[in-house]
Chains A and B, each alone.
Chain A
Amino acid sequence: MPTYKDHKAVETASGPARLRSSTAIVPIPRQAGQTGGESVDRLSDVDEWGRSEHMRTIIRTIYEPIYSKWFRAEWCGLEKIPRDGGALLVANHAGAIPSDAPVIMHGIEKELGRPVYGLADYFFKTIPVLGTMWARAGGVSANPDNAYRLLRDKGQLAVVFPEGTKGPSKSFTDRYQLRRFGRGGFVEIAMRAGVPVIPIAVVGSEESMPVVFRVPFVARALGVPYFPVTANLIAFGPLGALLPFPAKFKLRVLDPIRFDVPPDQDRYSKSRVMDEAEKIRTQLQDTLYEMLRERRSVWFG
């Protein structure tokens, strides 16, 4: 498996394929040494999901201080995430602009050296620049078909937040109270793909950007899922949209859950799916309570 650090060396080795200075809003990342015959004709290393390892490297460099200095993210049980093969990571989702997604993606890539694809609402795709950036950074529409292909055909890690937008849009008074886990679709996908579900409990995201109240009519006018007014906005003004509070991030990986069902079935028992989803939700909720019980300070953990 190629490690991320050697990409510069490969780039010079890849020879004459030089990229003409582009007028692209989102610049094309240079090729980072692909294998296979197709690479000869390519200029960038954007894969079929729109993810670019080169872009990830840049983002990792920028995000590293935020990850380790600002949030001081601390993992527990990282060894439970497999080094190869597909697995569906499931986590709680919170904070108006949730920092849990980048922290999980960055952390696993940094510690385990394997890519993580983030499954998010297709709404992201409709936002210019940001949508493209998100795709280059490893974001994929949370479509069952996409998840299946990533997990089963490609054997990748994918992270999904079953609460959806209900998680980050809830107000601070409901912090660490898990919302409904959709319709349990994530369990069904994991069953179909024959991969384990690995729950990750995240503490810290709620306090990094607490939602004070929501303004539904602005959300409607802008066509966005929710429009929160955060404590950050109140404290720092418009800058607060980009500036999370330095809450201490703690992440605990729970034991992988395997389902003893044959993969690639058209249908799975709905009651079984719902039961498993509810079990995972309860487990994650209990772990969150446990972590909160142990937490002495929001800022220092």
Chain B
Amino acid sequence: MGKRVLVTGADTFWGGRMVQALEADRDVEVIIGIGTHSPSVPFERAEFVKSDQAYSIISRIVKATQVDTVVHTFLVVDSTLVSARAMHEINVIGTMNLLAAAGATGSTVRQVVVKSSTLVYGSSEKDPNTFSEETPRSSPARTRVERSLIEAESLVRDFAEDSPSTSVAVLRFANVLGNDIITSFSKNLSRPLCPSITGFDPLLQFVEEDDVVRALEFVTMRRVSGLFNVAGDGRLPWSEVASICGTRLLPLPIWSPARAIFPLIKMGYYELPPEMVDLLRYGRGVDTHKLKDAGFTYRYSSAGAVRNFIQAIRLKRGAGRKPKSYTYEHDVEQFFRNSRSVVHDVNQ
């Protein structure tokens, strides 16, 4: 019997990519996507359920569908995307409800995979050069997104302790760059001038978006459990990242750098959340041995991810905007899934 997988945040970038990756896998029998908005990518065989941000209906879904695996991609790691309140709802309350559903008596869930971020390590002058999974933070969390992720992870840790028969994997991803994803980093790097902090040239690690999906798929399908850092090999100084991307550094004042370009941030030209300011000062490095030892291989190094990203940007600039290829229509999706007229052939 194949896996029955529930993917949270199926309407978001990562959830959508994850559902698509799982659909291609024959060992996955059922895929349920849950999200707050309509999916932005077409699903072949996955079913989609709409929910509120805090996933209050999740226990009913888990009970009804008897899923054995939960892939929790819906943790907000970019504080520019949602309000502070929504971030708390999504990261903390959403995770809490999800884990409550997964840990309820009679629950069929045997595996939980969580997509977290290396933001939980923070970034400060007291940091070690390299964080391994066990290294504690060297300073208290200063930003909201870090606090909410730490809280969400501690809920997962408690869950893992309380349910020893469930395999729990938490993946902490470094900053992501890729063909499609838009983050604060990708936004800033695609401008002719890119924010930096005067006199600081931190070392950064990146992970390519395909490697993110592949890592999530890897731990899901291999039923790997534990805490893992995920980042491409090597580290680059921020100035080199900018150089590869063909942008120049815009040196901002050491104190409150975001205030110096405040109008541009308001206009949406730059994004400089506090966690990024910390990163542009002190950087962050993580040890990725553990996941590699478990058998995962990366396609991209940090530098490779940056190069791939800028090539995608150049293509976008050169080729003009692609037409929107897909719009979710509930009735159409229902027709394809439930109508007797549609020929279902899984083995094709």
Contacts and interface: CB of A to CB of B under 8 A. Distances in A.
Interface string B191-228: 00000111111010000000000000000000000000
A125 interface: yes
Contacts of B233: 38
B236 interface: yes
Interface stretch (A17-25, A80-88, A165-173, A278-286): A17-25
A146 B128 contact: yes
Contact of B240 (A42, A143, A146): A42
B201 A43 contact: no
A211 B98 CA distance: 62
Interface stretch (B39-47, B70-78, B110-118, B245-253): B245-253
Contacts of B322: none
A281 B71 CA distance: 56
B25 interface: no
Q: Which of A24, A49, A145, A149 has the most CB of B within 10 A?
A: A24
Contacts of B304: 38, 41
B200 A146 contact: no
Given A25-B198, A126-B125, A131-B200, A46 B237 contact: yes
B248 A49 contact: no
A16 interface: no
Given A41-B307, A128-B254, A122 B199 contact: no
Contact of A26 (B201, B242, B306): B201
Contacts of B237: 28, 44, 46, 50
Given A28-B239, A46-B236, A125-B282, A132 B129 contact: no
Contacts of B199: 25-26, 127-132
A37 B301 contact: yes
B307 A28 contact: no
A70 to B, nearest CB: 28
Given A46-B237, A46-B240, A143-B128, A23 B249 contact: yes
A128 B202 CA distance: 11
Nearest to B247: A20
Interface string A138-156: 0011010110010000000
Nearest to A148: B128
Contacts of A20: 243, 246
B295 interface: no
A48 interface: yes
Contacts of A141: 125-129
A38 B125 contact: no
A123 B298 CA distance: 35
B242 A22 contact: yes
A264 B341 CA distance: 65
B240 A125 contact: no
A296 B137 CA distance: 51
Nearest to A125: B125
Contacts of A126: 125
A214 B284 CA distance: 35
B35 interface: no
B61 interface: no
Given A20-B243, A38-B233, A41-B303, A128 B128 contact: no
Nearest to B132: A145
B234 interface: yes
B285 interface: yes
B226 to A, nearest CB: 20
A28 B240 contact: yes
Contacts of A23: 248-251
B125 A122 contact: yes
Contacts of A37: 301
Nearest to A129: B199
Given A48-B234, A129-B199, A22 B249 contact: yes
Nearest to B246: A20
A167 B244 CA distance: 43
20 contacts: A19-B243, A24-B242, A25-B251, A26-B201, A41-B244, A41-B301, A43-B240, A44-B236, A44-B237, A46-B203, A48-B235, A49-B129, A128-B198, A129-B199, A132-B201, A140-B129, A141-B126, A146-B129, A146-B130, A149-B130
The 7 A-B pairs at the shortest CB distance, nearest first, are namely A128-B199, A41-B303, A24-B239, A129-B199, A145-B128, A125-B125, A23-B248
Interface of B: 125-130, 135, 196-201, 203, 233-237, 239-240, 242-244, 246, 248-251, 254, 282, 285, 301-304, 306-307
Given A20-B246, A145-B130, A145-B135, 7 more contacts: A42-B240, A43-B244, A44-B237, A128-B199, A128-B200, A128-B254, A141-B129
